[in-house]
Structure 1
Amino acid sequence: MRGQRVLLLVGFLLPGLLLSETAKILTLSLMGFKEGEKSYNVINWLLPEDFNKEFKKSFDFFMEETLGGRSTFEHYFNILEQLGLQCSHLLRRHDIMNSLKNENFDLVVVETFDYCPFLVAEKLGRPFVSFLPTSFGTVDFGPPSPLSYVPVFHSLLTDRMDFWGRVKNFLMFFNFCMRQRRIHSAFDKTIKEHFPEGPRPVLSHLLKKAELWFVNSDFAFEFARPLLPNTVYVGGLLAKPIKPVPQEFENFIAKFGDSGFVLVTLGSMVSVIRSQEVPKEMNAAFARLPQGVIWKYKASHWPKDIKLAANVKLVDWLPQNDLLGHPHIRLFVTHGGMNSVMEAIQHGVPMVGIPILGDQYENMLRVEARNFGVSIRLKQLKAETLALKMKQVMEDKRYKSAVVAASIIRRSHPLTPAQRLVGWIDHILQTGGAAHLKPHALQQPWYEQYLLDVLLFLLVATLGTAWLCGKLLGLVARWLCGSRKLKKA
């Protein structure tokens, strides 16, 4: 792909174009550079201070409500409206937008955290591909989704549904569609402000306009389902070769010998938790284990009135990939983020999940369905329950066997995720787009896709034919009756 100019647009959760770790790996994969080289430029931009304060206030409130089990869709929608306003601020920056236009990129890669990158790509008038960092069903971009075995996002169903499961999935589908429309409406003001009325884009159409969709998942994890030719699984992009862990970790692990150690990371959002109950219960659970516990948790945030268990090591940072690949690891306690789950599968490590928000519940549902581990809800977290679940997963060899089998599937792909991503992008750059990979169904209205117009026609034709036959039979019957009367007379 050398010689091709590619623009990467990341979701705008925080002010500015932030290059996340996923986006960084995407960039390095696309450009074919080694991680030490300068392979990209970062465009920074600042929002008005009052907007930053309002956004931070809304986001902190959303996280507090979510972690307290009180979140609603309205709280989430409020964040999306803030992102829509944030997108308007960016599109008003003519210096940035004109600079991007003048670069004349061959392709735009959008990360689907929010929908602003789609609008920027449309404004630039360049072809684009999309990267979905979360679970498959979080965004509807047109793939076939038979409701009999493809669970709707947030339904918490597997692909093996009984009758009532299919009823629930069918009803959840309508709820999902309504929520998708509402989510898209959060960017209506932005679209009206920055696009002329005639060719004004529609978000649902923009999603289907993407040349390719790269999904951060894998067949070893996701339920088998039909995919369109322009949809490619690239789960495991963050996978790196294992390196020796720093000596301080090695010294700690050595203390526990063959018992091994447990790795605990609950993601960046866990720092918002202000309650002391969660660390207290987790610490008490870890104290019951014979294994050592390496826990990513800022020591400065540790409650002063809770004595840290003797077998627990708190660290502000840890080399997660290298620790998951360590021969003495026994268990991974995770929030269920997609990248963490993919890394655990890559190294064949069973999991205990504590999902906190977003797609993490669905991810852990799949972990349980695949027998890679178990999960426990944050609001139900108690020391005894967590300790029992951890011992269950470590002592029952079925969990380890299942995740090792999935690791073999992951590793046996003929191409790495980065090779698949780069190969497919090279393909569409050489062929001038992915029109040959997109079925005509993406341009059809929903009633045509589901043949509702055909069914309506056949129903009307059948009823009309039945009505005509009835009329004809009535006429024949009356004629016969009239003939008999004339003969008798």
Structure 2
Amino acid sequence: MISLDYNYCCIISYCLCLISFTPPCEGGNVLVFPLDGSHWINMKILLDGLHARGHSITVIRMSDSLYIPEKSPLYRSITINMGEVQENFFEVVSNIFTLLTFDFLSMISQAHSLWCDGLVKILDDANMVQSLRNSQYDLVLTDPALAPGVILAKYLKLPIVLNVRWITSGEGHFAIAPSPLSYVPVPGSGFTDKMNFMQRVKNLFFHSIIMFQQRFMVGPSYDAVCAKYIEGGCDIISLLQEADIWLYRSDFVFEFPRPTMPNVVYIGGFQCKPAQPLPAELEDFVQSAGQHGVIIMTLGTLVDALPKEVTDEIASVFAKMPQKVIWRHKGERPSTVGNNTLLVDWMPQKDLLGHPQTKVFIAHGGTNGVQEAIYYGVPVLGIPLFFDQYDNLLRLQERGAGKILQLGDVNGHNFEQSLLEVLHQDSYRVNMQRLSRLHRDQPVAPMDQAIFWVEYVMRHKGAPHLRTEAYKMPWYSYHSLDVVLLLLTAVTLLLLSSLAIFRFLCCRRQKTKQH
């Protein structure tokens, strides 16, 4: 009886401790301006957590949204009619042939311009603006890879929380934290934090391209909206720098170490949780692999299939493997597919990665997939296609937890050799499981951190005390060039004065000698 009472008291004490660590927060009112595609998958998981805490959520979406439903038990929606713009955009992105030949910078610039047009429709609709004001939102939660939500938050004078890894000009850190190009690789450079001289030169060049893109291809669309609707005008980078909290979808198990800021909260892997049981048919297929295990392959949400000749080569390699293969493939069925390969339109990726039978993850290198592979400790054979995927996979390869195979190098021989290497060299799995242990060893789960900081902004009506004021400084002051100029001027005047005095004394002495 005494032991039961003691255990009961321990349980009650533990529960009280947990409650004491979670500050109270009445249900808030959150306006969400998301980005479609895989970014929405991340955002929805965060909305699940906020909804479970009793917060009211409103989501702004396009009428032709591919992933964001109009009706949901999590939120009410505000739908903007922009024709078939977004659908056409995703059709372009999902075509791997177009991605390899299309003017990609132009396509991205067009996407920003189109969403700015959508924002103008909102701001020109007096009834909608009044409705937004009357709703008395506590904050705006938005994804700044496309940034109309940032301008809307400024227009409504609301605190802002960014669900971010990418911004309009690339990687988020570059906008708010010191980013020495000597050891901070620019996205797209393909470099690590250990660069030789020529790599540092190229890194600077890549950074210049991103700055050019922001200044001349992306920025003008947002500048025009700011000039029209924001008193005093603004630019999108300054608005991003004004954000209260950055929920950053990464961590330093994955990223290379670099300077950061106090309002950046790292929530890498926040979408991950213990694997759930597979559907019965899929579980039977996985178990039929026996001791050989299972290989899973997916190219993410945007790309349905690789070019046919590449697909046939991959399928023929799979057909020779003793492992079973689960392949998310929505294109034409490969002519060389074997009996050991299951082609699916969709797969429970996290549950498969968490299954003990899964041996290798063949992936394109998207942020979600890479972080899930780390969480579950599954080595990766990466085939990067576009965006940040090569850089993501490079971080795994640098740590010995994955291997990169460029799409242009994929043929039967190279693919088979690379797959066998990741399958049979124990170092890949050992290194990935080490990353998994490091990632999981946190005092607070990333999802709990995300919810805490969103509610923190609600409770305190923002978090300006965590935000640097450096963004208000002109560029020459930020880099202390005005101070350097003043000191150089002072030193120059001192030297010139000394020289003048010295010449004066010499001339006077010479005249004295002459007399």
What is the TM-score with the length of structure 2 in the denominator? Answer: 0.85
In structure 1, the residue matched to 2:386 is 357
CA distance in 1, matches of 2:86, 2:346: 27
* Corresponding position: 1:46 with 2:81: yes
Q: Cα distance, 1:168 vs. partner? A: 2.4
Of 88, 98, 103, which residue of structure 1 is paired with 2:135?
103
Q: Cα distance, 1:368 vs. partner? A: 1.3
Q: Cα distance, 1:373 vs. partner? A: 0.2
In structure 2, the residue matched to 1:191 is 226
In structure 1, the residue matched to 2:180 is 146
What amino acid does structure 1 have at the position aligned with 2:332? Answer: W
Residue aligned with 2:234, SS:
coil
- Root-mean-square deviation (CA), in Å? 2.5
In structure 2, the residue matched to 1:122 is 154
CA distance in 2, matches of 1:218, 1:398: 22
Q: Which residues in structure 2 correspond to 1:210-229 (within 5 Å)?
A: 210-229=243-262
Of 481, 485, 488, which residue of structure 1 is paired with 2:514?
485
Q: Cα distance, 1:69 vs. partner? A: 4.9
- The aligned length equals 471
Q: Deviations over 1:278-304 (max 9, x none)?
A: 311221232232211100112xx3247
Q: 1:272 to 1:102 in 2, by over 3 A?
A: farther
Residue aligned with 1:117, SS:
helix
* Corresponding position: 1:78 with 2:110: yes
Q: Cα distance, 1:33 vs. partner? A: 4.7
Of 270, 274, 285, which residue of structure 2 is paired with 1:241?
274
Of 132, 147, 150, which residue of structure 1 is paired with 2:164?
132
CA distance in 2, matches of 1:428, 1:365: 35
CA distance in 2, matches of 1:357, 1:313: 26
**Does the 8 Å CA contact 2:241/2:471 hold for their aligned counterparts?**
yes
What amino acid does structure 1 have at the position aligned with 2:499? Answer: G
Give the ranges of 4+ consecutive aligned residues of structure 1 lying more than 6 Å apart after TM superposition.
none
For structure 1, the 5+ residue unaligned runs are none
In structure 1, the residue matched to 2:395 is 366
CA distance in 2, matches of 1:384, 1:95: 62
Residue aligned with 2:80, SS:
coil
Q: Cα distance, 1:315 vs. partner? A: 0.8
Q: Cα distance, 1:97 vs. partner? A: 3.1
CA distance in 2, matches of 1:332, 1:134: 24
What amino acid does structure 2 have at the position aligned with 1:278? Answer: V
Q: 1:55 to 1:31 in 2, by over 3 A?
A: closer
Q: Deviations over 1:274-330 (max 9, x none)?
A: x312311221232232211100112xx3247x1312221101111111100111111
What amino acid does structure 2 have at the position aligned with 1:279? Answer: T
Of 8, 21, 25, which residue of structure 1 is paired with 2:45?
25
Q: Cα distance, 1:205 vs. partner? A: 1.2
Q: Cα distance, 1:133 vs. partner? A: 4.4
Of 289, 294, 297, which residue of structure 2 is paired with 1:261?
294
* Corresponding position: 1:302 with 2:332: yes
Residue aligned with 2:342, SS:
strand
* Corresponding position: 1:205 with 2:229: no
For structure 2, the 5+ residue unaligned runs are 1-24, 55-71
**Does the 8 Å CA contact 2:138/2:461 hold for their aligned counterparts?**
no
CA distance in 2, matches of 1:388, 1:72: 32
Q: 1:320 to 1:55 in 2, by over 3 A?
A: closer
**Does the 8 Å CA contact 1:107/1:126 hold for their aligned counterparts?**
yes
Q: Cα distance, 1:167 vs. partner? A: 2.5
Residue aligned with 2:385, SS:
coil
